Amino acid sequence: MLPLVLDALSDRLQRILTGFRSRARLSASEVESGLREIRLALLEADVNLRVARSFTDRLREKLLGESVARALTPAQQIIKMVYEELSEALGGEAAGVLAGKSYAGQFSPMMLVGLQGSGKTTTAAKLALRFRTEGQRPLLVALDLQRPAAVQQLQTLAAQVGVACYAASVASPVELAEAALPRARKDGFSPLVFDTAGRLQIDDQLMDELVAVKAVVHPVEVFLVADAMTGQEAVNIASTFQQKVGLTGVILTKFDSDTRGGAALSIRESVGVTIRYVGTGEKIDALEAFVPQRWASRIMGMGDVLTLIEKVEQAVEAEDALAIERRLMKERFTLDDFLSVLEQTRKLGPLSQMLKLLPGFRLTEEQIALGEKELSKIKAIIHSMTQEERTEPGVLNASRRRRIAAGSGTAVQDINRFMQQFREMQRLMKHLKQGRLPLAGLLGRLSS
């Protein structure tokens, strides 16, 4: 199981922030030293040099300015500001709203553009599936008349996800686009997803064709589909397409790869458009709306319980989903509730990815590879407890923990680590129930 694209940056930032935990106050030289380390972490993650400098310049202005909150420790203050800057660099509040916008009741053409091999055709089908599950009637339109079997691939994927696909034997993509529009209006399809042709490299013929299609289609969205594994080249590709065609957003594919992920932090500031979706796996439903605040939370090690709840709602029956949400959000979240939620989330995909959405679960590579083993260990620990201990874990003294360790085949250290993680999750649930941002409840934990 390869790590998510921003894991290396996440680990490095958290190690840097650990160095500030014991400081009662920060001098200007200490701030500069920390900012230098953060800038190096960004550069190692393949973030554009200009973007990395701008990022740390804004942090410096905040940390040395009058906006510093006296109620927060230096570590808490830096964590808060790094989180805010990460959110802004990844797209700010607007990107999350755009990623979830509805096209229902509108005639909404959209174009997918990009180089050959970036994953446009598969992404088109993933988008169509997402729209269909939202109750819309998407239509896929096969405009890639250059790549052999591209039309057949899109038709096969359309059948797989249960949506319509329009294709015809015509001389050019422009003619096909012109023919698809009245068909879509007549049959009430919306949105329309136009899968355009790509090239192995950017050339004038490709751009002229896309400009001509855009003039006919009048799309409400033009998404660049870019491979996250291309790193900074993805930023250069986005810049060219923005200049030549005009973009409304970017979809990064292979976001579950082991690349350094700098493109995700560079695209908005370098190109002026935001990431709207990310492909998180090979499965046809592995397309996730990109919400900057949530990804910033993941990078900072704060988890992403809201996304976890959404994944549960999509994967299980409505009644079961409501029951899980009630367990997560109730006043007293017990170990029985925790075990029930973990068992349900096994339906959602690789366990390692689900655990990363929970605050406090910072997994090593070895733990990721042994995700199922980790779940079995947690289940054994909880099953070795009495009902009183599951309901009131505060009674777990040293002798009880030794008994549980013996009964579950684990070490006392495993139980101590798990109980710390569980307490962190309880605190987060309380903050979410009160309508507060996860950051507010996690600053103390991250800086302690």
What is the tens place of the pLDDT at every residue in 207-228? Answer: 999 999 999 999 999 999 998 8
pTM score, whole prediction: 0.69
| pLDDT tens readout for residues 129-177 | 999 988 899 999 999 998 889 999 999 999 999 999 999 888 799 999 9
User: Whose CA is closest to 225, among 120, 333, 374?
Assistant: 120
Sorting pLDDT into bands at 50, 70 and 90, what band is 248?
Answer: very high
Q: Which of 79-88, 100-109, 331-340, 356-365 has the lowest mean pLDDT?
A: 356-365
Sorting pLDDT into bands at 50, 70 and 90, what band is 339?
Answer: confident
| pLDDT tens readout for residues 257-313 | 655 567 778 888 888 888 999 888 888 988 988 888 877 877 776 655 556 666 655
CB distance 157 to 283 below 8 Å: no
Could you give the C-alpha distances from 106 to 124, 190, 193, 276, in angstroms and in order?
Answer: 19, 6, 13, 20
CATH class belonging to 96-298:
alpha beta
pLDDT at 326 over 60: yes
Q: Which of 85-89, 93-97, 219-223, 361-365 has the lowest mean pLDDT?
A: 361-365
User: Tell me, which fold does domain 302-447 have in CATH?
Assistant: 434 Repressor (Amino-terminal Domain) (1.10.260)
Provide the pLDDT for residue 126: 96
User: Whose CA is closest to 429, among 416, 438, 417?
Assistant: 438
User: Whose CA is closest to 88, among 268, 252, 262?
Assistant: 268
Highest-pLDDT range among 1-15, 72-86, 361-375: 72-86
Provide the pLDDT for residue 260: 58
Going by the DSSP 8-state scheme, the letter that residue 302 receives in this structure is -
User: Taking residues 52-76, what's their average pLDDT?
Assistant: 73
User: Taking residues 108-120, what's their average pLDDT?
Assistant: 92
- The residue ranking higher by pLDDT, 17 or 110, is 110
249: which strand partners? 223
Q: Which of 118-127, 307-316, 329-338 has the lowest mean pLDDT?
A: 307-316
pLDDT at 29 over 50: yes
pLDDT at 442 over 60: no
Question: Can 7-93 and 302-447 be said to share one CATH topology?
Answer: no
Please state, in angstroms and rounded to a whole number, the distance separating the CA atoms of residues 153 and 116: 14
Does residue 148 have a cis peptide bond before it, meaning omega lies within 30 degrees of 0?
no
User: What is the torsional sign of CA 45, 50, 51, 53?
Assistant: positive
% the chain with pLDDT above 90? 32
pLDDT at 439 over 50: no
Dihedral over alpha carbons 334, 10, 437, 327 (to 10 degrees): -20
Provide the pLDDT for residue 70: 53
Provide the pLDDT for residue 302: 63
Q: Which of 111-120, 207-216, 418-427, 436-445 has the lowest mean pLDDT?
A: 436-445
pLDDT at 89 over 90: no
Q: Where are the domains of the chain?
A: 7-93, 96-298, 302-447
Please tell me the total number of residues recorded for the chain in this structure.
448
User: What is the torsional sign of CA 211, 215, 217, 219?
Assistant: positive
Highest-pLDDT range among 97-111, 152-166, 190-204: 152-166
* Domain covering 7-93 assigned CATH 3.40.50.2300 in the classification: no
User: What mean pLDDT value characterizes the chain?
Assistant: 80
User: Taking residues 407-436, what's their average pLDDT?
Assistant: 79
Provide the pLDDT for residue 3: 38
